[in-house]
Amino acid sequence: MLAGSGGTPSSGSSANGEYLGDGGEYGGEYGVPDAAPSTDDALDRLEILHISSTDKIVPNIRFQVCSTRDIVNYHITERLSCIHLNQKTSVTLAKEVSVEVIPSIIYLTIQEFHELAGKYRDAFTAYKTDYFAERGKFQEFTSNIIAVANNLHTCIESTEKYKQQIRLSMEGEQNSVAPMATPLSSGRRTAVSQQQLIENMDALNTKWSNAASVAVNYLREEVQTDIAPSLVELFSKKWLTGSAALETICMTVSDYYHDHKHLRPVARTALLMDLQFRIVSEYLKAIETKRLTFTTYEERATAGKRMKSDVSRLDNLYAEFASSDDMADQLPLLTSIVASAGDVISLKDKSLLSLEATSFARKFPNCPAELLAAVLATRDDVGRSDARSLADEVLQHVQFHPKDQIFDQLFALRQQESSEWLPNIGMANVFTSNFISKLKRDV
């Protein structure tokens, strides 16, 4: 449970400290009134309930956080569940008062959730800052941020369900395009349509999704911090002579997966794909920056063999991740480009190089010319000018071939700084840009 201050539970809290909503004079289960109050009184009391619950939901996350697990073994925290309770309470309360008050209560509810989304993100961001300042002090950081990401996933689901509830509650009772009364801070009322309410809900889900993206990126940052020394060894002289860099990376990612498997599937996919992007792009960056060049065929042959061995290790690792029932077909592999680059580098007969380069271009027709030229130029028998000319020529022949968008993203990321390169759930990642739509299908 995301813990706040200790002490005896106050009114509206459960014995374990989880805030349940303050029923106050409303009475009734979940704070729903036994007798309907006036419209203005209902709005005033509902605002107090939401402000109070918002203050109690946002945890003192810097100092005391611990997670539990739901029925499918995903880490969660309990306190945020009062959001869903308040959503149900709000619409139920509106029905108890009058049809007129429904849009006003919904409006107030959405506004409070917008505020909560920002406070919650600020809280776990502060927790992350403290953790990276002194990692040894926070032993449960990984499981706690996993719980945060799962909580936000649940918020997206719940908001979608709430939006459907809004549609059903107002259908037949209000014209969806007619003006409806909505409270202002001054006590006056203005007009708002059902469509405006729905758009506000969509904006709220965007906030939840962006916050979830941030949480997943914090998990990625934790892993990346640990594997960074090994990443810079890939495709280097040390790697060529037997460095265990790739094995160290795989073991570290696998070790973290003991915690990461408790992420909801969408967030887990985003994290694992981001890590795969990071690892594969390191080979491409190493090639383009000439981290390793060759002077003999024997060196090239050794490198090609090593690249294929690394690909096999990574493929096996990700096959293990994809073997769980909730991850089927969600982890496509990027590693084929490393193996194909190895084929170009290790080819012995230079007279066949044009054919090998063409084969590479057909597999990756969206490959930037400068990247293919860099692959060719690592060879001891190809000059930089010839490498660029050959790359331009073969890519020109395949410019209309079908392109896999996953590699568009990989190629775009290869030159970015390591601290900035990663996509996030709500942005460029082709597997996570449809984060909300995936959740909608599961609702």
* Among 1, 136, 135, 137, residue whose Cα is nearest residue 60: 1
Q: What percent of the chain clears pLDDT 70, i.e. is strictly above it?
A: 65
Dihedral of CA atoms 283, 289, 295, 299 in degrees, nearest 10, equals -10
Query: What does the pLDDT read at residue 224?
Result: 95
Kindly calculate the radius of gyration of the chain based on its CA atoms and give it in whole angstroms: 27
Helices (H), 171-296: 194-231, 237-240, 245-260, 265-288
Q: Which domain holds residue 85?
A: 24-212
E strands present in 15-143: 68-69, 75-76
Over residues 179-199, the pLDDT tens digits come to: 454 444 444 445 567 778 888
Mean pLDDT of 294-310: 97
- How many domains, in total, are found in the chain? 2
Mean pLDDT of 374-399: 96
Helix axes 194-231, 245-260, angle to 10 degrees: 140
* Among 337, 318, 298, 307, residue whose Cα is nearest residue 245: 307
pTM (two decimals): 0.78
Mean pLDDT of 401-422: 74
The CATH number linked to 295 is 1.10.357.70
The CATH number linked to 117 is 1.10.357.50
Mean pLDDT over the full length of the chain: 77
Do 48 and 155 belong together in one domain? yes
Do 187 and 242 belong together in one domain? no
**Do the Cβ atoms of 163 and 200 come closer than 8 Å?**
no
Domain boundary (212, 245, 266) is at 212
Cα 317 from Cα 203, distance rounded (Å): 37
Three-state DSSP state, 203: helix
Do 299 and 428 belong together in one domain? yes
Three-state DSSP state, 181: strand
Query: What does the pLDDT read at residue 417?
Result: 54
Cα 257 from Cα 242, distance rounded (Å): 26
Do 250 and 369 belong together in one domain? yes
Least confident of 21-30, 112-121, 233-242, 421-430: 21-30
**Cross-strand bridge partners of residue 13:** 19
Over residues 248-261, the pLDDT tens digits come to: 999 999 999 999 99
Residue type, 89: T
Do 291 and 359 belong together in one domain? yes
**Do the Cβ atoms of 399 and 365 come closer than 8 Å?**
yes
**Do the Cβ atoms of 354 and 390 come closer than 8 Å?**
yes
